[in-house]
Structure 1
Amino acid sequence: MSGAVDLSSLKQPPAGSAGADHAVSVADFETKVLRRSTQVPVVVALYSQRSPGSVELVRTLERFAAADGGTWDLATVEAESNMQIAQALRVQGIPTVVAIAGGQPLADFEGAQPEEQVRQWLDAVLDAVAGKLEGGAPGEPEPAEDPRFTAAEDALERGDMAGAEAAYEAIIAAEPANAEAKNALRQLRFLARAQEVPESTIADADLDPTNVDLAIGAADLELLGQQPEAAFERLIGVIKRTAGDDRTKARTHLLELFELFDPAEAFVVAARRKLAAALY
């Protein structure tokens, strides 16, 4: 998830809403969660503002985090707008709470829980990591961020997609091998493209399964909706049914979608095998 751009920058929870003070996105997940978890456990709460139960759970965690004085950090994630985090943590339902320690998931639970059970779960997490992490004083400064990436992220937060794209392109121009900037730019361009696809495209593509352009748009919508397997299957199906330029176009787009994920992800590996079988 390193170097991923914040795909939800235009949908951040408003100040004062549940989770706003501890909000984490794809862009800062590595710093605020993975790196920080080498010092203290980080409790990641994946929730939706549309779910009263998950909002109440976040508020409970916020109260406990304040009371515990920095012995653990809270990271709140709007799951619907941060599909990569939800996928990386194998989230099946909302809300889901995952404790991260030493960069690895330690414990989790799904669904709204009474305060006393949440308190018991937190205490068990703290007991499990006692003396095993580096420790970090409350308010300890985080590692300095690259100001070039910060500028790009600030542009996204302002809704300036073109400015963010230009910022990432400038980094790549100066450092052609900068994988972090390349990955961020790929995701930014995907988001900009997918947000322009009409919602009716999936239904239209189902009615016309050999139309490559409809299939590509539908796959983008499915990926944006946290359904990567469905997106991959759709394009592989088109590749099986077409030939020539249409087949090449579908294959090229599928490969571009693969690049948005860690190549070791099980669903990416499986889709690459299916693609190979469809081609040969």
Structure 2
Amino acid sequence: MKIAAVTGANSGMGQSISLVLANSGMHVILLCRNEKRGKEALANIEKQKKNGSVELQLCDLGSLASVKQAAKAIQARHKTIDILINNAGIVTPKRQETEDGFEMQIGVNHLGHFLLTNLLLNAIKRADDGRIIIVSSGAHEWGNFYEKDPHLHEHYNVLKGYGQSKLCNLLFAQVLSKKLAETNVSVFAMHPGAVSTNLGVNRDSGFGATIHKLLRPFFQTPREGADTTLYLALSQKVKADAGKYFVNRKVTKTAKQAQDVQLAQKCWEWSEKQTGYLTL
């Protein structure tokens, strides 16, 4: 039985992806920050699935300690991971910080996933057909990597922070794909489109929920938004396009800054220092 790990699996696209992967006969590890919501997602998928199996693993991508603990627990139970889907993402209208002092969007959307991926890499390399799928966004097109102030202590705004984090997803995918070129692991990046999820809704205050309700008719459903991710996870046709960026199942060009080799290397080295994880 193949094993897949999905971040942000408690709701929206993450839960839809997890259900489909389970129904395809996989064992799916639901990586969730919140225990209550994670257990609810686990029960919901258990109720709906016709095949496969699921388990819950708590993992707060805004905490390096939590990411390390989660990776250690996963590897203690599973020698091999076939698919890792870096799906979780947040939008924070006001500047916030993770427990490690990172600006929240780059901390969760990029640095948490950077560390998790590298910690699980040996297990993914043991798979016959390992796949890493990085969910980015069209927001990378307005993104910049602010080398002098990546945590945006000055002049913060939500679009600037979110765009940077989504650009970093693609810069990460670029370098990772090259590092794994001679292995059996394929790296893919993708943009799911405008999806009706809890992204941008403050879970404590509920701020943003009304706007989401008004815009929902114009959004894709989580299942529709999950389509390209599932295509990359399950199709045998895509292996020849490893390292590329997909929108609506099609290879698509990224913005110029996402193709910058030197910028990608700078982002990688900075990410190593921030997470304290020196990669090979």
Please identify which structure carries the higher strand content: 2
Report the TM-score when normalising by structure 1.
0.26
Please identify which structure carries the higher helix content: 1
Report the TM-score when normalising by structure 2.
0.26
